[in-house]
Amino acid sequence: MAPSPATAATAPPSAKAARAHTADLVRVLLFTGVVIAHSINGINTTPDVIRSSNLVGTLLHLTRYGFVAVTLFVLVLSTRDRPMAPRTFWRRRFGLVVWPYLLWTIIYAITDHLVIAGNPFGSPGQFFGDLAVNMVDGQGKYQLYFLLISMQIYLAFPAIAWLLRRTENRHWAVLGAAGAIQMSMFVVYQYLPRPSGDAWTVVYENLWKTLPMYALFVAIGALAAYHHEAVERWLRDHVVWVIAAGLIGTAFSVSAYLLATAPGDVPLQANTPWNPATLPWLIGGLALLWLAAMGWDDLRAAGRSVGARAVSIATIRAFGVFAVHPLILDVLARIGFMSALFDWFPNSAALRSIALVVVTLALSLVVVDLLLRTPLSRWLVARPRIPLRRAERSSTIVQNSHK
């Protein structure tokens, strides 16, 4: 962006910054974490396992905050040397999320009644009224709220990039202010009483889906990309201390959860996504995940494949899996697969969970691969259509992997 807000240009980007391979792997792992979280929450609800399963679910709140950080990282990194006016940026980016958001909201408005037992269609007026509300508040399905957050990120990105340029010598202050905003939101939702009155209730029920709830991770992702080379060098030079700090933060958050719960008794406040006690894990876990991905990228850059092709393939399909996996879980529940898992593994919640995650991921990938070959591919899975012919398909996969 010619001195436009979304430029966020600093030092000339390195060749490595041109393609965020580290971010690709982190994003794939985070999408996988979403499937794990929803699978575990759907099957492990009995008193004997609810404490351990909710601990896993609490740790996997990292996915929502990690997504925000990775999204900002990729946006800032990819626009540092590519001038783009705000309107051009919005025109190119919004379609990638708006159409999938609208279509999947409609799809789930229908399939929730067709697939979920005991959930018949209501009157046409009720159906379309609920659909309209869900399109506004992101509650068409339990994962779709994140697309609302993505839209806000895209909308605010030119201003965020402008702020990065204007505060270039005060980025620690920006990080501190973002942390204060996010902690304030955590305190409001974790400790303060729910407001009374219909208007305030509506605001309260939807404010957690706005950027202030994720302000710190907006800043972390944006600043990590703005100072990409320096940050990566610092992480390499202090890897032992970063790992130690990450493990300490993890131990703190896990201990706080265990102290607030007991076998068969998990208070709602113990595993909310805005519990301040989880913040050390959210930051430390993201740092540990990033370090692991950096190590993988180093091996890839050294010529060792270490799953590079698998990551490339998964990157193309990750959003589609995110979008479709709740439907797969609903279908599996409807056909009795969930109850069958208890017959097959009556004494092992871990095996039930692993089996459900593997089957859900596998079926989601099959569905996404089919969607990728339809004319609606870009609208449903946010990727260009993959042609059926082998030669064209190979060319398209290569092109997609560089987007």
The domain of 232 spans 16-401
**pLDDT grade for 19, boundaries at 50, 70 and 90:** low
Separation CA 227–CA 211 (nearest Å): 22
Per residue in 211-227, pLDDT (tens digit) is 999 999 999 999 999 99
Residue 8: pLDDT over 90? no
- C-alpha distances in angstroms, 39 versus 43, 241, 263, 360, 361? 7, 34, 21, 8, 10
**Average pLDDT, stretch 188-214?**
91
**6 falls within a domain:** no
Q: Of 36-50, 134-148, 284-298, which gets the smallest average pLDDT?
A: 36-50
**11 falls within a domain:** no
**383 falls within a domain:** yes
Task: For tokens 């459900």, name the residue.
Answer: 356
Separation CA 384–CA 317 (nearest Å): 11
**What residues contact 124, with CB distance under 8 A and at least 6 apart?**
none
Q: CB neighbours (10 Å) of residue 9? A: 18
> What pLDDT is recorded for position 82?
75
Who wins on pLDDT, 78 or 69?
Answer: 69
**353 falls within a domain:** yes
Per residue in 117-143, pLDDT (tens digit) is 999 999 999 999 999 999 999 999 999
**What residues contact 145, with CB distance under 8 A and at least 6 apart?**
137, 138, 139, 209
**284 falls within a domain:** yes
Question: What amino acid occupies position 160?
Answer: I
**Average pLDDT, stretch 185-211?**
91
Cβ atoms of 8 and 80 closer than 8 Å = yes
**pLDDT grade for 34, boundaries at 50, 70 and 90:** very high
Mean pLDDT score of the chain: 89
Who wins on pLDDT, 397 or 277?
Answer: 277
3-state secondary structure of 347: coil
Q: pTM here?
A: 0.88
How many CA atoms does the CB half-sphere of 283 hold within 13 Å?
A: 19
**4 falls within a domain:** no
Separation CA 8–CA 225 (nearest Å): 10
Two structure tokens written together for 59:
């740790």
**10 falls within a domain:** no
Residue 344: pLDDT over 90? yes
**pLDDT grade for 4, boundaries at 50, 70 and 90:** very low
Two structure tokens written together for 342:
């208890």
Task: For tokens 């519990």, name the residue.
Answer: 275
**Average pLDDT, stretch 242-259?**
97
How many CA atoms does the CB half-sphere of 76 hold within 13 Å?
A: 31
> How many separate domains does the chain show?
1
**329 falls within a domain:** yes
